[in-house]
């Protein structure tokens, strides 16, 4: 299990290490070794082991549909959950199954909006912005929001496929107009198309925890270990890592990292990872780069 929230936290840790070192050791690059321990709450642990899906996102739409209907499908050129199989939706945690189905090719459309056309004479037809269907008005919100400084620019607006648009548009896929007017200004719109390749995906979800505390306990059961039996030098490394971060590539550092890496991590890559450990009865998320 590994979450996108956790991935963001790890990147911030690495970036922070770079910033700290640039102050401490001017002229030297970022070290290849870092140990950083952050005291972990239930929320921290749950976030490290899952993706938090926000309302309004594509992930939220897909997973709530799968939850409510048993499964859901989506077409796209990439996977939504390639970094995790656990998602938090409305406070509940689900195991996510994302299955690739058939590949496809489809025609997708975009509308190019010329905010200051040299030629504003309609060839196909003209329409007032407020008379467009609601779908077009939402897509072309750049028109009522355009400023004088925008007049030299074109804006390209993605509409998706004809199937996704349905009968909600007066422009896509078969444009009825090529000029849109608004408060005395005239804008040229041109419909463009391209072929897009992708895949169809099927999603299924299984509830695994009803709340943060329950899920954090599951993560603990799978990953938590006690960091014990340390020498005095190893304890100094750990305590400095708790106070800030430890950067020295010395024997004590390597020994502590070896002890940590002997356990299963929440996320482990070639040269860095995140572990959940307890030290002197306090739980920490340990970010390690070696």
Residue 106 has what pLDDT? 86
User: Residue 96 corresponds to which tokens in the numbers above?
Assistant: 């996510």
Which candidate, 94, 51, 52, 50, places its Cα nearest to that of 70? 94
pLDDT, residue 8, reads: 40
- By the 10 Å C-beta count (0-12 exposed, 13-18 middle, 19+ buried), 288 is classed as buried
Q: What span, in angstroms and rounded, lies between the C-alpha atoms of 29 and 53?
A: 36
Query: Rounded distance, CA 248 to CA 244, Å?
Result: 13
| Single pTM value for the model | 0.65
The pLDDT, as a whole number, for residue 18 is: 39
Six token digits for residue 287? 């970010």
Give residue 82's pLDDT.
83
Q: Is 218 left (phi over 0), alpha (psi -120 to 50) or beta?
A: alpha
pLDDT tens string, the chain, 290 residues long: the values are: 444 344 444 434 444 443 333 333 334 445 689 999 999 999 999 999 999 999 999 999 999 999 999 999 998 888 999 878 999 999 999 999 999 998 988 899 999 999 999 999 999 999 999 999 999 999 999 999 988 777 778 999 999 999 889 999 999 999 999 999 999 999 999 999 999 888 899 999 999 999 999 999 999 999 999 999 999 999 999 999 999 999 999 999 999 999 999 999 999 998 999 999 999 999 999 999 99
Both structure tokens of 155: 């804006």
pLDDT of residue 31: 61
Query: CA 113 to CA 156: how far, in whole Å?
Result: 6
Tokens 């058939």 locate to 102
Per DSSP (E only), the strands in the chain are: 34-39, 51-53, 72-76, 86-89, 92-114, 126-128, 154-161, 179-182, 185-209, 225-226, 267-268, 272-279, 282-289
pLDDT tens track for 203-256: 999 999 999 999 999 999 999 999 999 999 999 999 999 999 999 999 999 999
Per-residue tokens: 3? 């979450």
């Amino acid at each position: 299990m590994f979450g996108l929230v956790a991935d963001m936290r790890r990147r911030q840790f690495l970036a922070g290490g770079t910033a700290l070192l640039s102050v401490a050791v001017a002229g030297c690059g970022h070290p290849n070794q870092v140990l950083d321990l952050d005291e972990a709450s239930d929320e921290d642990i749950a976030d490290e082991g899952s993706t938090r899906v926000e309302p309004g996102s594509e992930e939220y739409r897909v997973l709530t549909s799968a939850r409510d209907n048993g499964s859901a499908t989506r077409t796209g050129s990439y996977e939504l959950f390639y970094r995790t199989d656990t998602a938090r939706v409305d406070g509940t945690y689900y195991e996510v199954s994302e299955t690739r189905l058939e590949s496809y090719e489809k025609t997708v459309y975009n509308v190019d909006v010329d905010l200051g056309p040299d030629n504003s004479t309609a060839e196909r037809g003209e329409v007032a912005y407020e008379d467009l269907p609601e779908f077009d008005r939402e897509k072309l919100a750049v028109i009522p929001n355009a400023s004088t400084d925008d007049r030299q620019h074109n804006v390209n607006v993605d509409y998706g496929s004809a199937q996704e648009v349905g009968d909600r548009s007066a422009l896509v896929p078969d444009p009825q107009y090529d000029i849109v007017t608004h408060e005395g200004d005239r804008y040229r719109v041109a419909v463009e198309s391209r072929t897009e390749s992708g895949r169809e995906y099927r999603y299924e979800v299984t509830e695994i925890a009803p709340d943060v505390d329950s899920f954090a306990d599951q993560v603990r059961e799978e990953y938590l270990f006690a960091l014990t039996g340390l020498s005095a030098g190893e304890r100094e490394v750990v305590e400095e890592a708790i106070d800030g971060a430890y950067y020295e590539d010395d024997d004590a550092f390597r020994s502590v990292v070896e002890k940590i890496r002997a356990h299963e991590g929440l996320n482990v890559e070639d040269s860095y990872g995140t572990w959940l450990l307890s030290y002197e009865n306090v739980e920490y998320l340990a970010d390690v780069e070696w």
